[in-house]
Amino acid sequence: MTALLEVVDVTRSFGAVAAVQGVSFPLLAGEAHALVGENGAGKSTIVKMLAGVHRPDTGTLRVRGADVEFTGPADAKAAGIAVIYQEPMLFPDLSVAENIAMGNQPLTRLRQIDRRARHANAERLFGRLGVHLDPDRPARGLSIADQQIVEIAKALSSDARILVMDEPTAALTAVEVDRLFAVVRSLRDEGAAIMFISHRFEEVTALCQRVTILRDGRHVCTEEVAGLSVDDMIRRMVGRDLSALFPKQDVTPGDVVLEVDGLGRAGVFADVSFQVRAGEIVALAGLVGAGRSEVMQAVFGVDRYDTGAVRLFGRPLPPRSPRAAMTAGMALVPEDRRQQGLVMDLSIERNVTLPRARKLSRLGLLWGGRERREAGTWTRRLQTKLGRLSDSVGTLSGGNQQKVVLAKWLATSPKLLIVDEPTRGIDVGTKAEVHRLMSSLAADGLAIVMVSSELPEVLGMADRVVVLREGRVTAQLTRAEATEESVMYAAMGRPVTAP
Amino acid sequence: MSSLATAPAAALQGLLRARELGIVLALAALVAYTAAGNPRFLSGQSIRDILLNTAILAVMAAGQAVVVITRNIDLSVGSVLAVSAFGVATLMSANPSLPIVVALLAGLAVGAACGLLNGVLVRYGRVPALVVTLGTLYIYRGVTYSWAGGQQVNADELPPHFLRFANDSILGVPWLVLIAVVVIGGVSLMMRNYRLGREMYAMGSSPQAAELAGIRVARNTIGAFLLSGALAGLAGVLFAARFGTVDAAAGTGYELNVVAAVVVGGVAVFGGSGTVWGAGLGALLLTVIGSALAVLDINQFWQQAIVGALIVLAIGADRLVAVRIAGSLRKRDSHV
Amino acid sequence: MSDLRRRVASWDVLVVLLTVVVLVTAAGVVENFGTSRNATFLVLDLLPIALVALPMTLIIVTGEIDLSVASTLGLCSAVMGLLWNNGLSLESIIGICVLLGAVLGVVNGFLVTALGLPSLAVTIGTLALYRGLAFVVLGDGAVADFPLAFTGWVTGTIGGTPIPNVGIPLVVLAVLFGVALHATPFGRSLFAIGANAQAAHFSGIRVARTTFWLYVLSGAVAGLAGVLWTLRYSSARADNGAGLELAVVAAVLLGGVSIFGGKGTLPGVLAGVVLLAALQNALRLEDVSGQALNIVTGVLLVASVLLPNIATSIRTSWQRRRLRRAAAQ
């Protein structure tokens, strides 16, 4: 097999931080090649170099043996590289067909855009992908999975021979992942080179032949996937052995803290009821799109609900008021850290003390260093790695950002902590720290609701598992009852078939 | 391809079309009501006046629409009009033998230069369009004042063929109106059927995705401002020809009328949707309102208030439509 | 050290320094600039812009904008004239006008927060609407016979100082707004809303309600500015303050507030206001046309964003070159 693309000794720094240092690996025609590493290992930087967004400081990229220098994404596209990002990059106002054709619009003889050819092309691609999407509808309002499909159609339409996929499965259901993999395999068999980035090792082993592992911006190894166990990969990513990923201590549950009673919202979820006791970790499991985050956001009051009630220590909470929920002792660590959890432009200390600014003020004024002291206390307690508290929170790595979100809410001394995908997109080491923290908080009597898409995390951490499917509770399992099979059965509403 | 899948798309297109249709209906109703009150409103002279008054606004609105579609704004157009109007008037009074075409080209060139500066500052200076064009609104106006130094160019200093240009017609259509129609038509076509135009919609719809799609954002951004500037410059020539007397205050405050026409015409303030001919209709509607008030003998002072109310109404209606569409699309998804 | 350097290098500090330099230079070079009489006029001239800039700063920090302020000022001035002609007492008229300003702000706030419309478009609409209503109320005439007790107080000075009486409400309001923005939970929430409204909502901040009240505040202050404007020139006219909104926005941006929200300081904004007014005043004394000053205003405005951007890109390109060189060795 020949190398379609070679990354040769590339280095790239941002400010004082070296994101990628001297990384080399080839991408062969007809292979699916995984790129794995913890967050901050340099995966996205490499993706952005291949996409033409960043230029390497030193080192080169070679396409079909020739050195290339991309001055922008257009150059990378012209070189036959298509990149599919974790978050789809569509134009909401334009039609699906036009989204697919953008940058490569078919023209009539008068150099006008050939709408008919464009439409036919979209139909043809959707046929190939085996999906039914209306090419004339606007991209606005498409589900994440459908947006991802449009992205893939886009890549197919440009006849790219090198396909870079940055965590394309993060928001997809199992069925959709299967369909995506089928398409990727057929592309691979036609001789395309696929670069596949994922945090899910089962996907790496299912799809890829070779894997390149990065650690702290450096190349660790490039090897056949078949010769590596998942443990091997983790060890090389982290550089040390990991024990006890999910150390939940056993706790005798206390009084009921949270009661969710018949909560419903038209078209999103219906008749959701469950209880959480002090010292308990209750996991909300289910497929992406089952309505788990929506339920918890309604419980916390950032979103509305139409029916039902939420009670904390037996007292009903007013709907649509995060402030009332906070005052009553509730805290929500949201799913989307960058958009919901943190104000990226503000400093670390302002972020930590944002919900508590009122409490920290004296006579309504915030003088002196009270915010800084409070922020210092909590970031130290969570062992957050940071420069100065006055740095903007955007300068931190993903794992440390998550610690800042946790610090921000733990500082409010909550009685009920809701964590939504608490370890999504953070590295394995920090993940273990977060799990240890949650466990010890529960041991101290905190009631925790955890929304998680990672089954091992759910099974390892939860005292009880509440499973949602299409907005309804389909099972409430105790720790003993909860197995991969029982949870997946409830989540999919049918027996699990072998993958 | 089931008919079920196309229904919402068709409904959506219908709603979008309804936006321009809404303006046409409002226009028709307004004209009918006014003409019923005073038949003189439909006289040839009255219609001619309305169209001539619309022409200048519509030319500027076409350029502004393109800028707004790319998710930018150009507040400097009133000042660009002044630079161009005063410059061309000075040029023509000094060289009375120059043909009209030279005047038009000079105006376009002056405006294009102003627009180019705007575009370069927005793109390469990474300064938000609102800030840049608010700044150049002052700068271009100040330049005109310094240049004019309190002087004005009067109609009797301008060559007669230049002034006649504003009133002459070809095949019964006044030149000014013809120019406006050609500009609106040409720019509409570019935005609808050519790559450049579609890329501009894409940029306004999602700037980040546009960068990643390899769209030449820099060229297109600068192009949009260049076009807006050039058309404001052209409007300056039309202004000078129509009014004859030009001082440094020409076109003061026009930027708001132009933005109003674009917004009323259905171009989304945050880019990505709307049409150029919709903006042209918006300009026509605003002008007709002014004339109708005069004809109906309603206090002229109401005009501005009505324009303001109309802007608020227009964006409110857009919002409503957007919410409806989102709702219908979501409902459709939940059934799949 | 580098914290200090960063602070000095920030635009709002630079603009304060620049303002001091301009004031000192003008006092030395321009004849009559440093006289106490001129100082009084300087303060009187910058008063309306400074007043309206206070709530405008808060609004722009939250990432919104209010372009209707000058029209609110004009409408309040016109209503003031109308009510005075109808024989109301000036004390009650002043109260009514400030209240009217607040009501006009309620309309803006409702459209922006309850209906979720873009504030730029909404306030361009109400800019035209309020100004139009001002003309409907008063036509193109003027009401000028306001009692000397009031007009004299507005233009009068405190004791023997050159500070005009109206400087008192300005200073009081400036301190209140400054403290509110920079040292209260309310101010913290404004920055959070401007930088990321969704994250602010998730942190228990009542985004819509906060924004709504900012517009009410903006309207009320514009109403007050309308009253003071009318009394200062002893003339209630529908076109009072026309175009002032752009000068106010220019001053706020010049003072280092980001048009995208989330960044800015009130001292910077006040320096921006003083800088523009001082330049205008000095150039007028030098017989330079006030309109030509537009060029200076515009250049400063663009420079306030452009220069920091250029500085940043030069810094990063230096760093990059250094790294390349280090790597080459």
The Cα-based distances of C45 to C154, C159, C172 in angstroms read: 12, 20, 18
Total domains in chain B come to: 1
Contact: B315, C301; criterion CB under 8 Å:
no
8 A C-beta contact, residue A326 and residue A355: yes
Identify which of B216, B272, B326 has the shortest CB distance to residue A74.
Answer: B216
Q: How far apart are CA A197 and CA A214, in angstroms?
A: 11
Which is more confident, A171 or A185?
Answer: A185
Q: What is the pLDDT of residue C190?
A: 97
Number of H helices, E strands in chain C: 14, 2
Q: Is A96 contained in some domain?
A: no
The HSE-up count of residue C250 (CA atoms within 13 Å, CB side) is: 30
With an 8 Å Cβ cutoff, the interface of chain C facing chain A consists of 3, 179, 183-185, 187-189, 191-192, 195-196, 198-206, 262-263, 316, 319-320, 323-324, 327-328
With bands split at pLDDT 50, 70 and 90, how would you rate the model's confidence at B336?
very low
Q: Are residues A349 and A276 in the same domain?
A: no
Residue A147 phi/psi, 5-degree rounding, is -60, -40
CATH code of residue B303: 1.10.3470
Q: Determine, yes or no, domain membership for C141.
A: yes
Q: How far apart are CA B113 and CA B118, in angstroms?
A: 9
Q: Is C307 contained in some domain?
A: no
Q: Chain B partners of C257 at a C-beta cutoff of 8 Å?
A: none
pLDDT at B1: 35
Q: Do A276 and A394 fall into the same domain?
A: no
Which residue among A325, A342, A357 sits closest to C188, beta carbon to beta carbon? A357
DSSP B133-164: HHHHHHHHHHHHHHHHTT--B-GGGS-HHHHH
User: Is residue A118 domain-resident?
Assistant: no
Query: Do the Cβ atoms of C198 and A390 come within 8 Å?
Result: no
Give C-chain residues touching A343 at CB under 8 angstroms: 191-192, 195-196, 199-200, 262
Contacts of B198 in chain A (CB under 8 A): 94, 98, 102, 105, 113
pLDDT at residue number B197: 96
Residues A150 and A209 in one domain: yes
Record: contact A334-C202, CB cut-off 8 A: yes
How many angstroms separate the CA atoms of B105 and B100, rounded?
9
For C122, the closest chain B residue by CA position comes to B312
Chains touching chain A, criterion 3+ CB pairs below 8 Å: B, C
**According to the model, what pLDDT value does residue C1 have?**
37
User: B94-98 long-range contacts, Cβ below 8 Å, gap at least 24?
Assistant: B96/B158, B96/B159, B97/B159, B98/B159
Task: Say which residues have a Cβ less than 8 Å from residue C239's Cβ, sequence separation at least 6.
Answer: C74, C131, C134, C135, C140
Residue C2's pLDDT is: 45
- Residue C97 in domain: yes
A to C CB pairs, distance under 8 Å: 86
Contacts of C260 in chain B (CB under 8 A): 128
Half-sphere exposure of A186 (CA within 13 A, CB side): 9
Task: Give the model's pLDDT for residue C327.
Answer: 65
Q: What is the pLDDT of residue B335?
A: 35
Q: Taking residues B9-21, what's their average pLDDT?
A: 60
Hey, are the CB atoms on A361 and C263 less than 8 Å from each other? no
- In this complex, the chains that touch C, judged by 3 or more CB pairs closer than 8 A, are A, B
Residues belonging to chain B with any Cβ–Cβ distance to chain A shorter than 8 Å: 1-2, 5-6, 8-9, 12-13, 193-195, 198-199, 201-202, 204-206, 208-216, 268, 272-273, 325-326, 329-331, 333-334
Q: Do B121 and C250 touch (CB under 8 A)?
A: no
Closest chain A residue to the Cα of C182, Cα to Cα: A366
Number of domains in chain A: 3
pLDDT at A99 over 90: yes
Q: Are residues A360 and A489 in the same domain?
A: no
Cβ–Cβ below 8 Å for A111 and B194: yes
Contact pairs from chain B to chain C, CB under 8 Å: 153
A232, A258: one domain: no
Q: Could you read off the pLDDT of A229-273 as tens digits, one per residue?
A: 888 887 788 765 545 456 677 788 899 999 999 999 988 899 999
Please report whether residue C103 resides in a domain: yes
Q: Neighbours of B (≥3 Cβ pairs closer than 8 A)?
A: A, C
Which pLDDT does position A497 carry in this prediction?
45
Residues of B in contact with C133 (CB under 8 A): 305
Sign of CA dihedral C298, C300, C306, C310: positive
Q: What range defines the domain where residue B260 resides?
A: 3-335
Evaluate whether residue A389 is within a structural domain: yes
Quick check: is A128 in a domain? Answer: no
Interchain pair A11, C195: CB under 8 A:
no
Name which of A15, A341, A365 is nearest C184 (Cβ-Cβ): A365
- Confidence band, pLDDT 50/70/90 cuts, at residue C68: very high
Q: What is the CATH number of the domain that holds A30?
A: 3.40.50.300
| Confidence bin at A495 (pLDDT 50/70/90) | low
Residue C240: pLDDT over 90: yes
Q: Do B215 and A102 touch (CB under 8 A)?
A: yes
Indicate whether C32 belongs to any domain: no
Number of A:B CB contacts under 8 A? 103
- A281 and A367 co-located in one domain: no
Amino acid identity of B222? I
Alpha-carbon span C197 to C187, nearest angstrom: 14
State whether residue B335 sits within 8 Å of chain C by CB: no
Out of A384, A412, A440, a domain closes at A412
Rounded to whole angstroms, how far apart are CA atoms A397 and A17? 11
pLDDT tens-digit series, residues B82-140: 999 999 999 999 999 999 999 999 999 999 999 999 999 999 998 999 889 989 999 99
| pLDDT of B6 | 45
The total number of structural domains that make up chain C: 1
Separation of CA A158 from chain center? 27
- Give C83→chain B minimum CA distance, Å: 19
| Confidence category of residue C160, pLDDT binned at 50, 70, 90 | confident
Alpha carbon of A132: minimum distance to chain B alpha carbons (Å) = 7
Round the average pLDDT of chain B to a whole number and report it. 88
- Answer whether residue C130 shows pLDDT above 80: yes
C323 → chain A, closest CA residue? A57
Q: Which residues, 6+ apart, have CB-to-CB distance to C133 below 8 Å?
A: B305, C75, C78
Residue with tokens 């959707």: A126
My answer on whether A246 and A230 are in the same domain is no
Which residue in the set B141, B145, B304 is minimally distant from C131, CB to CB?
B304
Using CA atoms, how far residue A123 sits from A126, A275, A450, B76, in Å, is 5, 48, 41, 44
- Comparing alpha-carbon positions, the chain B residue that sits nearest to A268 is B334
B304 and C135: CB-CB below 8 Å?
A: yes
Residue A117 within any structural domain of the chain: no
Whether residue C18 lies inside any domain: the answer is: no
Q: Which B residues in the span 93-152 are in contact with C, Cβ-Cβ below 8 Å?
A: 121, 125-128, 130-132, 134-143, 145-146, 149-150
Residue numbers in A near C187 (CB within 8 A): 366
Give the domain range for residue A403: 343-412
- Do residue B142 and residue C292 have CB atoms under 8 angstroms apart? yes
Cβ separation of C195 and A346 shorter than 8 Å? yes
Cα C13 off chain centre by: 18
Residue C302 lies in a domain: no
- pLDDT the model gives residue A247: 65
Chain A nearest-CA distance from C56, in A, is 21
What are the backbone angles phi and psi of residue A278, rounded to the nearest 5°?
A: -60, 140
Q: End-to-end CA distance of chain C, in Å?
A: 30
Helix (H, G, I), strand (E, B) or coil at A277: strand
Percentage with pLDDT > 70 across chain A: 95
Confidence of residue A346 (pLDDT cuts 50, 70, 90): very high
Answer whether residue B167 shows pLDDT above 50.
yes
Contacts of A366 in chain C (CB under 8 A): 183-185, 187-188
pLDDT in tens, A18-66: 789 999 999 999 999 999 887 667 888 899 999 999 999 899 999 998 9
Give the structural domain span for C166.
47-245
Query: 3-class secondary structure for C125-165?
Result: HHHHHHHHHHHHHHCCCEECCCCHHHHHHHHCECCCCCCEC
Chain C neighbors of B141, CB-CB under 8 A? 291, 294
Q: Is the pLDDT of residue A496 over 90?
A: no
